[in-house]
Chains A and B, each alone.
Chain A
Amino acid sequence: MKRLRWDAIIGLVGLLMLLVGSYIGLFAAPPERHMGEVQRLMYVHVPTAWISMLVLTAAFGFAIASMWTGRPKWDAVMTGATETGVVLGALLTVQGMIWAKPTWGVWWDWDVRLTTTLIMVLFFTGVLVLRSYVAEPERRATWSAVAVIVGYVDVPLVYFCVRWFRSLHQVQSSPETVASTMITPLRINAFAMLFLAIWFVARRSRLELARLRRESVALPPRRAPRGTAVPEAPQEG
């Protein structure tokens, strides 16, 4: 039998924890006194929010590493983290809308939290689009890393905007404002989401690195390594 990779083990542990945490959240934790059952969305929504921002923060770090070293490895990991961040951000937005309708009364409103989150999802989707349009590997690595670094400004904004500006979305909860019986499933699912995200980033990075390598083989080398015979270009005519 093929041995499981380290990230697959982490991912499977995450999946198992997500099942356990969600079971506790759905069946053991109490409903919220005013919101009722719909509040159980918290157990996926809040972990998705935390981990989407965390993964994009990692992408920011990988972007700097990619610029610093110029190695395709970091370019690949940055892409993996960006793509995972986009997926989690899109899920986050949809979960938020599903929760907003029965509690706030609307699917959407242009408050700062919702707007900055949408910008976050669209911007990092744009980074992935940008990558697909630049054929030259080094230029693509530089441009996408710069885009990630500049666009990252929106991520702390997503987190802090509810404290800085008036908004429809409430400010962060803390263990003091959340019933203790709700905290356990929230924590389990937060770690579950973290482990799943690590799995996704690792898998996606490996795929990207394989693509980059295949690309560099397919492209003719710019300079032949020293000491190797350079094949003559076929003569015209």
Chain B
Amino acid sequence: MSERRRRLVITLVAVLVSGGVLAYLALGGIGENLVYYWSPSELNASGDQAIGASIRLGGLVEPGSIEREPDGLTLRFAVTDGEESVRVAAKTVPPAMFREGIGVVVEGTMRSDGWFETRRLMVKHDNEYAAPGKDEDLDIKELMKSMQFDESAT
């Protein structure tokens, strides 16, 4: 094989490897096994199996559910996916973006008393950037899009 021919074969193999990996990740349904966070429905469906395990839970902060303990240390709220919700007890200072209806990802464990306990509360912003004064409409279905529950096959 000539030098040039050898190089072209190597190039072709490299491109095929690269394209193959990408196609596999795009079409191979790996999202079912690689889940960054569970939805409340998924967490509830797993029942007792989830108790004690280290889990990320994602969803929207249910409007009207935010409570602050008098001790000032614990923040209680519900995370919802529009169908089911999970009660969360967060022992952390929430970021300033934290509010009703915003997407959150919490990392922690499910307790046997039905509360999800977390010390790591992350706010998930959606892809909208608006100037101040634009009306805030709490359309839960619209807000839910930011949580990508549709895209990830479950």
Contacts and interface: CB of A to CB of B under 8 A. Distances in A.
A58 to B, nearest CB: 16
A181 B129 contact: no
A30 B127 contact: no
B133 to A, nearest CB: 7
B129 A32 contact: yes
Contact of A103 (B14, B19, B34, B97): B97
Contacts of A106: 120, 122
B7 A181 contact: no
B112 interface: no
A181 B134 CA distance: 13
A164 B129 contact: no
A164 B21 CA distance: 14
Interface in B112-154: 120-134, 136, 146-149, 151-152
Contacts of A35: 97, 125, 129
Task: Report the contact-size class of chain B (Cβ under 8 Å from the partner).
Answer: 35 or more
B144 to A, nearest CB: 13
Interface in A81-104: 102-104
Nearest to A110: B36
B97 A70 contact: no
B3 interface: yes
Interface in A62-76: 64, 67-68, 70
Nearest to A31: B132
Interface stretch (A48-56, A150-158, A192-200): A150-158
Contacts of A152: 18
Contact of B36 (A67, A111, A149): A111
B53 interface: no
Nearest to A32: B129
A39 interface: yes
A173 interface: yes
B40 to A, nearest CB: 13
Residue of A145, A146, A173 most packed against chain B (CB within 10 A) = A146
Interface in A109-163: 109, 111-112, 142, 145-146, 149-153, 156-157, 160, 163
Interface of A: 30-35, 39, 42, 64, 67-68, 70, 102-106, 109, 111-112, 142, 145-146, 149-153, 156-157, 160, 163-168, 170-174, 177-179, 181-182
Interface of B: 3-4, 7-8, 10-11, 14-15, 17-19, 21-22, 25-26, 31, 34-37, 58, 94-99, 105, 120-134, 136, 146-149, 151-152
